[in-house]
Amino acid sequence: MSDEQFRAEIRGWLHEALTGPFAEAVGTGGEGREHEAHELRREWERHLGRAGWIGLGWPSEYGGRPATMAQQVIYHEEYARAGAPGRLGHMSEQLLGPTLLAFGTPEQKARFLPGITSGEDIWCQGYSEPGAGSDLAGVRTRAERRGDSYVITGQKVWTSLAHLADWCFVLCRTDPDSTRHAGLSYLLVPMDQPGITVRPITQLTGTSEFNEVFFDGAVAAVEHRVGAEGEGWKVAMGTLGFERGVSTLGQQIGFRRRLDAVIARAHENGAWQEPALRDRLVEAYIGLEVMRHSAVRLLASAGGGLSGLEASISKLQWATWNRSLGELAVDVEGAGALLTGPEYELDDAQTHFLFSRANTIYGGSNEIQRNIIAERLLGLPR
């Protein structure tokens, strides 16, 4: 199938689905709006799975569908352009799935990948802790091996969708005498068990997309450890490379829609006539074009995933750009952006401004990304 035929197929399928049974799902979910339409979006995941749109480029024996890198990019572009709902299965498909394909055993692939490609299983990511956020090597959550199981004790924080997830991939310290990167293991943990407590965290937007997750004797099977015991750091870094891979181009389509909305609002209320704001609108457009060309170049050379350095460059670019766009959105609105409804109802510009503050913190803060680039790319001293 040619790329043009592939684009026509996914565009037609999305149009039919989003003007038909899932019309109410259009525009739901996404950053600052993950509290919306959970049940409808869960059924949307199953609908994607039944149609074969999950696991593009994966082996067919796990429910995947053949697709070139260019076609995967096209899929993400068309998905974002159609205003399709925010994916509850993003971490399942974009993070854990590629990690299992790269590091999992045949048994693990056969056990977990079909649940992802069918849209049935939702996963969350158990990395950050109160004392180990951007400095992930400081993980203190412990997993003690007892026979064929690990018993897990500790706390994770900023865990997106943990209150909805069926499973969590958790980075734990399995060697109590180890420090930093050594002695960590990557475990697949079922969320529906007595030893796990999930507490939502209320954000500036008034919603709760992130959670605290407490492990108090939670159990994971030894056969569900990905990679060798003590080599979890390598697997975890592989996951982060996939996190900032091909889906970033679809993310940028979403950014373009946000920028277009800000520009349209500036024309509507006359804000574009102010020279300083007009300059910032132009700078935002240029910044988005730079990100797109950078992403295409990096992905073409990396085969769909990004190395640690490339991932750091990409994360620093888009997080800073999106935060600046949030600031620009409220500045275009003017003084009215300081007001909310009596029940703290936020409009799109206010939600974007508040939630985008998190972009430069989660997934490795801007400061950490700059340190990585300085030390590993430029060779500067620690």
Q: 26 and 86 in contact (C-beta within 8 Å)? A: no
Active site residue ranges:
243
Predicted local distance difference test score (pLDDT) of residue 196: 98
Crossing angle of helices 69-81 and 275-302, in 10° steps, is 150
User: Bridge partners of 123?
Assistant: 167
Predicted local distance difference test score (pLDDT) of residue 326: 96
Predicted local distance difference test score (pLDDT) of residue 206: 87
> What is each CA distance from 118 to 89, 93, 108, 115, in whole angstroms?
10, 10, 16, 5
Q: How far apart are CA 10 and CA 14, in angstroms?
A: 6
- State the residue for tokens 């988005």: 288
Predicted local distance difference test score (pLDDT) of residue 377: 87
Predicted local distance difference test score (pLDDT) of residue 104: 97
Handedness of CA 188, 191, 195, 196 (dihedral sign): positive
Q: 113 and 99 in contact (C-beta within 8 Å)? A: no
Question: Judging by DSSP bridges, how do beta strands 184-190 and 123-126 pair with one another?
Answer: unpaired
Please count the residues of the chain. 382
Q: 46 and 39 in contact (C-beta within 8 Å)? A: no
Q: What is the mean pLDDT of each run of 10 residues along the chain (382 residues)?
A: 95 95 90 86 97 95 91 89 91 94 96 97 94 78 96 94 96 89 95 96 88 97 97 90 68 86 95 95 96 79 62 88 96 94 90 92 87 91 90
Instruction: State the Cα torsion 135-137-143-147 to the nearest 10°.
Output: 160
For residue 4, the tally of other CB atoms under 10 A from its CB is 9
Closest CA to 245 of 287, 300, 195, 193: 300
Predicted local distance difference test score (pLDDT) of residue 306: 56
